[in-house]
Amino acid sequence: MQNELNVIGIQADLAWEDSEKNIAFFEHQINLLKKVDLVVLPEMFTTGFTMHPEKVAEKMNGKSVSWMKKMAQKHSFAICGSLVITENNNYYNRLVFVHPSGKIETYDKRHSFTLAGEDKVYTSGTHKLIVAYKGWKICPLICYDLRFPVWARNTENYDLLIYMANWPVTRIKAWDTLLKARAIENMSYVVGVNRTGKDANNYEYSGNSLVVNYLGEALSSLEKNEVGIVKTPLKMSHQNEIRKKLGFLNDMDSFKILD
Domains and CATH numbers, the chain: 4-251 (3.60.110.10)
Please compute the mean of the pLDDT values over residues 83-97 and round it to a whole number.
Answer: 98
Query: Looking at 69, 109, 180, 231, which residue is catalytic?
Result: 109
Supply the pLDDT for residue 21: 98
Q: CA 48 to CA 65: how far, in whole Å?
A: 16
Would residue 217 show up in a list of annotated catalytic residues for this protein? Answer: no
**Percent of the chain having pLDDT more than 90?**
95
Would residue 143 show up in a list of annotated catalytic residues for this protein? Answer: yes
- One DSSP character per residue, the chain reads --SEEEEEEEE-BPPTT-HHHHHHHHHHHHHT--S-SEEE--TTTTT-S-S-HHHH-B-TTSHHHHHHHHHHHHHT-EEEEEEEEEETTEEEEEEEEE-TTS-EEEEE-SS--GGGTHHHHSPPP-----EEETTEEEEEEEGGGGG-HHHH--TT--SEEEEE----GGGHHHHHHHHHHHHHHHT-EEEEE--EEE-TT--EEEB--EEE-TTS-EEEE--BT--EEEEEEEEHHHHHHHHHHH-GGGGPPP-----
CB-CB contact of 78 with 38 (8 Å): yes
Supply the pLDDT for residue 257: 84
Q: What is the pLDDT of residues 196-223, one digit of tens each?
A: 999 999 999 999 999 999 999 999 999 7
**Percent of the chain having pLDDT more than 70?**
100
Query: Looking at 17, 80, 139, 143, which residue is catalytic?
Result: 143
Q: What is the pLDDT of residues 107-166, one digit of tens each?
A: 999 999 999 999 999 999 999 999 999 999 999 999 999 999 999 999 999 999 999 999
Q: What is the pLDDT of residues 2-56, one digit of tens each?
A: 999 999 999 999 999 999 999 999 999 999 999 999 999 999 999 999 999 999 9
Query: Looking at 17, 43, 58, 118, which residue is catalytic?
Result: 43
Amino acid 114 reads T
Rounded alpha-carbon distances, angstroms, from residue 151 to 27, 33, 155, 188, 239: 32, 32, 10, 15, 21
Would residue 43 show up in a list of annotated catalytic residues for this protein? Answer: yes
CB-CB contact of 8 with 33 (8 Å): yes
